[in-house]
Amino acid sequence: MAGSCGFFWPWEFQVLDWMQGLHRPLLDQVMVFVTSLANHGELWIGLGLLFLCFSRTRRLGASMLVSMALGYVAGNLVLKNLFARSRPCWLKQDVPILVPVPRDYSFPSGHTLVSFEGAVCIWNHDRRWGLAALGLAALIACSRMYLFVHFPTDILGGLVLGIVNGWAGGWLVNTAKPRGEILDKEI
């Protein structure tokens, strides 16, 4: 499968090739596990739903879910199809792939996008937990390059859009505060 846009900067394959030299059996297993945490956004969506269950974190949960909805529309439905960018594993098929080869386009990285949306929302709510969430988001982003399914600029695009959406989701939920008393009530 190939996208209509095979464009990449030459340094991007240099970075990916360097990362291929880091492969070790244990690290391979760790990276496959780490990347699986963001498959379909399950971890972050699950955390958002969990946070909705408690009055103290309800706005955080709502912020996460709103930001992820924004990211799904902007990243997965619009930008991926607009850019139709090929993945590195589609262009260099001689590199062993440790995960199923993704069938959707490459830009922006959806794993990175959803991870930074969730992590930024957590950061805005609680800096201590937010720092851990941002570290996990960064590790997930790196795993996508390690596994040879995204270019560095795919990661950068997902990171930037994820930060913007994380802040936007929080802003939208907090702007709705006067009309959103339901978020402040006990369930």
Average pLDDT of the chain? 90
The SS3 of residue 12 is helix
* Confidence at residue 10, expressed as pLDDT on a 0 to 100 scale: 82
* Confidence at residue 1, expressed as pLDDT on a 0 to 100 scale: 47
Q: DSSP letter at 40?
A: G
* Confidence at residue 176, expressed as pLDDT on a 0 to 100 scale: 78
Instruction: Please write the tens of the pLDDT for every residue from 103-153.
Output: 999 999 999 999 999 999 999 999 999 999 999 999 999 999 999 999 999
Q: Could you tell me if residue 113 is left (phi over 0), alpha (psi between -120 and 50 degrees) or otherwise beta?
A: alpha
Q: DSSP letter at 178?
A: G
Instruction: Indicate whether 32 pLDDT > 90.
Output: yes
The encoded tokens of residue 7 equal 């464009």
The more confidently predicted of residues 23 and 117 is 117
**For the ranges 1-15, 69-83, 125-139, 146-160, which has the lowest average pLDDT?**
1-15
What is the Cα–Cα distance from 67 to 118, expressed in whole angstroms?
8
pLDDT bucket at 5, cuts 50 / 70 / 90: low
The more confidently predicted of residues 50 and 10 is 50
